[in-house]
Structure 1
Amino acid sequence: MLGMTEEEVNRCQIQEWYPKFKSVSIRTLIHELPEYFVEYLLDDSGPFLLPASVSNDDALPNRIHNAFEEEDYQVSEGSGDEAEPSSPPSFPELELKIKESIESLGGAVFPKLNWSAPKDAAWISTSGTLRCTSFCEIALLLRSSDSLVHDLCHAYDSCNDKTLTRPPSFFLALRKWYPSLRPEMEFRCFVRGQCLVGISQREVTMCYPALSEKKNDIKVLIQELFDSNVRQEFESENYTFDVYVTKDERVKILDFNPWGAFTLPLLFAWEELQQNVGEEGDDVEFRIVESQCAVRPGLKTAVPYDYLDTKPGSGWDQFFRNADDELQRQTRSPEAGA
């Protein structure tokens, strides 16, 4: 697995890159989190308590309230008369700042910390997405996410020069919610030696036939954004960045990630990106899922999307190999031609 430096990891924090690329990104408001809220996110010593809202907002507005359910949220571990009700934590100053930002961004946002969004916790929200309209909904997603453990505890684990266990401060980025975003128009771009060497469809679990017709145009748009806005501005030599192409052919930067380590290469392999793909002077290779047979298995697990170990010999590597073998076996079988 490819290593990186702490400096390269730090450049990929949203509070570091967003101010520089604000004009070509999604509107975002960023709050530095007080340490006591970070401790709340990390605390697993007792029952799971949602914050008490000073705005009377409920993280689960559609749930049925009853005494038994409230006890699940409010009572400490213990038995009999020894069990004492726990007081839910409260973060009034932070809540009011976040409430103001949500209103400024149109009433709905999706949250992320320095590097990661709580994608693995979307199931717990009332909409099944990362759409949040209140501080309590944000707190629920952050507390329910295993993927954010990466940001809180493991961001520097793959650094060759590791001296840090965590960044000095954590930030909450609130990004404007767009209900009509199309997953097929998200792409990951790979930069090596400050040259764009590859582009991959971001959603590898679906085939979108219409992409084949737009492929060349999309590649030109992404190359133009890279040449005009990214190449001279992002200081790392090697990195990846994710983009979204709008219906009116504007390219928006969604995120930056380190080269290698816990960033998934998607339809590439890191070895070919490192050695063979997109040599300087060559045409940038743009890969999309061309058919249903090329669809990759969904990677929805209890760890973050970009925190999976897929290197040769790993469990996922063996899974993919077994899936390929089974596909070839079925293709060769007499029934396949029936």
Structure 2
Amino acid sequence: MKREEVDMCQIQEWYPKFKSSSFKTQILQLPETFVDYLIDDTGPFVLPALVVDEDALPNRVRNPADEDDFEVSEGSEDDESERFPPPAFPDLEMKVRESIESLGGAVFPKLNWSSPKDAAWISPNGSLRCTSFSEIALLLHSSDSLTHDLCHAYDSCSDKTASRPENFFLALRKWQAALRPEMEFRCFVRTRRLVGISQREVTTFYPVLLERKDELRELMEEFFDGRVKEAFPSENYAFDVYVTKEGWVKIIDFNTWGASTLPLLFSWEELEAEEREAVEMRVVDSRCGVRPGLKTAVPYDYVDTAPGSGWDQFMRKADEELRRQKGESAGA
């Protein structure tokens, strides 16, 4: 894989070409001082000082080495603030506030390639929904998955000359509260041909996908031929889409071919095999066909693993099914 192919999948590169077929997004270039803040792990984590603090979270100090991140003894917060004064990014803060307002008051943040999906647990609402600069800074700084973007973006490139791009961007995407996970799909393109489509949320069986499989495949084939095939410059790649209840196809993201992109219900060997005569679409076709995989889950890559959540119920049912099968085997 070449660096050029990786760069093509940055949101600030593809979104301007496909904005009419995607979710509304504001893209801001990040100052290098903020990038340094995100990757700095030499001291405790301190939220940025705000120009306007009406939306501020209680200032938190976090030492990554501590098991109990936010248990701070009484009176110590002031001491920590004096030793580690919070940085300020007033220009970026104001641009973020304006963008959030223009996008309806709530956004989903991501950097050039990745979202802070692994840090959702730390946000006040337990998701990637953000309504303030403080919430965004907290998610970005707390995410380990963003380390790839920040420090290892080109590790898989045969022509690697740098570890990161020259500039980083913050993409603020309008929060979509009513997205249905069963309508998210990953499309695989090889030599500019659509060769496969996979259900993206592979941890759940959705009967509606079996009923609408042919219809949905045709929608995505038509969308690829009419909107993506000639517009996206790479030959080999994957792209994620969402199909609305009205039948419109919306682009969520573009991904590199192979590397860290999950093939979901395919394998890369299958996708790279001989030319296919028709586009193959795979969905989970029974409750026994679900696959565990937290990184493949619901819209915008957020999974709720709390007690009573869908994932928790799935794991409980899986354990019950496993015990039942063992019981049947023992009695045979």
TM-score range, shorter chain: 0.7 to 0.9
Q: Which amino acid aligns with 1:294?
A: G
Corresponding residue to 2:251 among 239, 253, 259:
253
Q: Which amino acid aligns with 1:71?
A: S
Does residue 11 of the first structure (1) align with residue 8 of the second (2)? Answer: yes
The answer as to whether partners of 1:118 and 1:145 remain within 8 angstroms in 2 is yes
Corresponding residue to 2:52 among 34, 52, 55:
55
CA distance in 2, matches of 1:292, 1:60: 44
Matches within 5 A, 1:315-334: 334=328
CA 1:70–1:266 in structure 2 vs 1: closer, same or farther (change >3 Å)?
farther
Does residue 37 of the first structure (1) align with residue 42 of the second (2)? Answer: no
My pick for the range that moved more, 204-213 or 292-301, is 292-301
Aligned position for 2:157: 159
CA distance in 2, matches of 1:272, 1:97: 45
1:298: how far off?
A: 2.7
Aligned position for 1:314: none
CA distance in 1, matches of 2:227, 2:140: 32
Does residue 235 of the first structure (1) align with residue 233 of the second (2)? Answer: yes
Which segments of 5 or more consecutive residues in structure 2 lack a partner in the other structure? 60-69, 302-320
Cα RMSD (Å)? 2.6
Does residue 182 of the first structure (1) align with residue 180 of the second (2)? Answer: yes
CA 1:237–1:336 in structure 2 vs 1: closer, same or farther (change >3 Å)?
farther
Q: Report the secondary structure of 1:198's partner residue.
A: strand
Does residue 21 of the first structure (1) align with residue 26 of the second (2)? Answer: no
Aligned residue pairs total 299
Q: Which amino acid aligns with 1:75?
A: E
Corresponding residue to 2:278 among 268, 280, 283:
283
CA 1:74–1:261 in structure 2 vs 1: closer, same or farther (change >3 Å)?
farther
Aligned position for 2:138: 140
CA distance in 2, matches of 1:73, 1:170: 32
The answer as to whether partners of 1:38 and 1:170 remain within 8 angstroms in 2 is yes
Q: Which amino acid aligns with 1:264?
A: L
Q: Report the secondary structure of 1:167's partner residue.
A: coil
CA distance in 2, matches of 1:138, 1:70: 27
Per-residue displacement from partner, 1:186-220 (whole Å, max 9, x unpaired)? Answer: 10000000000000011111111111111111111
CA 1:220–1:329 in structure 2 vs 1: closer, same or farther (change >3 Å)?
same
Corresponding residue to 1:168 among 166, 169, 177:
166
CA distance in 1, matches of 2:114, 2:80: 31
Per-residue displacement from partner, 1:132-173 (whole Å, max 9, x unpaired)? Answer: 000010000000100000000111101111112110000000
Q: Which amino acid aligns with 1:149?
A: T
1:335: how far off?
A: 4.2
My pick for the range that moved more, 84-93 or 30-39, is 84-93
CA distance in 2, matches of 1:300, 1:132: 20
Per-residue displacement from partner, 1:25-59 (whole Å, max 9, x unpaired)? Answer: 00000000000000000000001100111121223
CA distance in 2, matches of 1:336, 1:291: 25
Per-residue displacement from partner, 1:228-280 (whole Å, max 9, x unpaired)? Answer: 0100011111000000001111000000001001111011000010004xx25
Q: Which amino acid aligns with 1:292?
A: R
**Percentage of matched positions with identical amino acids:** 65
Tell me the TM-score normalised to structure 1 length: 0.82
CA 1:66–1:193 in structure 2 vs 1: closer, same or farther (change >3 Å)?
closer
Q: Which amino acid aligns with 2:242?
A: Y
CA 1:267–1:136 in structure 2 vs 1: closer, same or farther (change >3 Å)?
same
1:337: how far off?
A: 8.6
Aligned position for 2:120: 122
Does residue 96 of the first structure (1) align with residue 91 of the second (2)? Answer: no
CA 1:70–1:244 in structure 2 vs 1: closer, same or farther (change >3 Å)?
farther
Which segments of 5 or more consecutive residues in structure 1 lack a partner in the other structure? 77-83, 307-326
CA distance in 2, matches of 1:266, 1:275: 16
CA distance in 2, matches of 1:146, 1:164: 20
Does residue 71 of the first structure (1) align with residue 76 of the second (2)? Answer: yes
CA distance in 2, matches of 1:333, 1:272: 36
